[in-house]
Each structure stands twice: as structure tokens, then as C-alpha cells.
Amino acid sequence: MDEEIIHYGKKIIEYSNALGSIYLEEYQRFLKHEYADLSAKQELTLELLRTKTRTINELADYFSISASAASQLVSKLEKLGYVKREINPHNRREIIVDFAQKGHDYHKNTEDIQLHLIQKYYAKLPKEDLKTLLSLYEKIYQIAKEAP
């Protein structure tokens, strides 16, 4: 493999990891005490629900766990008041997981943090740079999705 590609790839990964750490610190500063009762997997589950409702099987597939283990994960979040389960009216064998009130509050708080991060970091870049950055992330994401 080309040495220059290796060099650039390592630097990109290094910066990506460093940015991830900075963002994580920001999230923890804003949310950690309020949502200290959540495990990392529970937080990730809530992040998945921010984009759309999920079935128990979708959560199981995402985490590479059994449907029973996913159901236990959801049960804990349900007891904490973050999620609720409903039977899918179009397929009564499926259980749909959605936000309960505390989950909606979590979603609102994470939206506020994202806006804070955008204002603090991304808004300082020219729009053309943001478009280029987004385009590059989309390309890398597609490559990663298609990789074996």
C-alpha cells in the first residue's frame, strides 16, 4: 500500500478519535449527571431511537445479540421511563420500541448539545468546507458499509 495513503489514513483516524473524545466530554458535561443511570448500550439504544422507532429484532441485529437480550435491554429502559413498547399493528408478532416521556426529554437535551457543538465548532468553518467535509464523510461511510 502507498506510504502516503497510510500516513494520511493514520492522521485522519487520530484526529477523528481526538474529536470523538472532545465531543464525548461535551456530552458528558451536559448530560452525565442527569442521565447517570444509563449504561453505554442503553445510551446507544436511545441514540438509535432518535432517528426512528425500532423493533426488538432491529435492536438485536444492531447489537449482534439475541432478541431475548434486546428485550431485556429494552425492559431496563422501560423501567427507567425512557422507552415504551407497542405491538406493531401491521405485524402483531413484532414489538416496536419508541420513546416514553423521559426518552423525549433525553432526545431534546441531546439536540441541544448538538446545536451547541455546531455553534462552537462547525459554524466557524466556511459553508463550502462543511459541504466538502460532509461529502467526504458520506463517501467514507458508503465504503465502510460496502466493505466485507
Q: How far apart are CA 28 and CA 125, in angstroms?
A: 25
For domain 3-146, give the fold. Answer: Arc Repressor Mutant, subunit A (1.10.10)
Q: Where are the domains of the chain?
A: 3-146
Partners of residue 84 on adjacent β-strands:
98
Name, in order, each residue with C-beta under 8 angstroms of 83's C-beta and a sequence gap of 6 or more: 45, 46, 49, 74, 77, 97, 98, 99, 100, 103
What confidence score (pLDDT) does residue 24 get? 85
Which amino acid, residue 147? A
What is the reported pTM? 0.75
Q: At what angle do helices 101-120 and 40-51 cross, to 10 degrees?
A: 90
- Cβ partners under 8 Å of residue 78, min gap 6: 84, 85, 100
pLDDT along the chain (148 residues), means of 10: 94 95 86 80 93 94 95 96 94 94 93 94 97 96 91
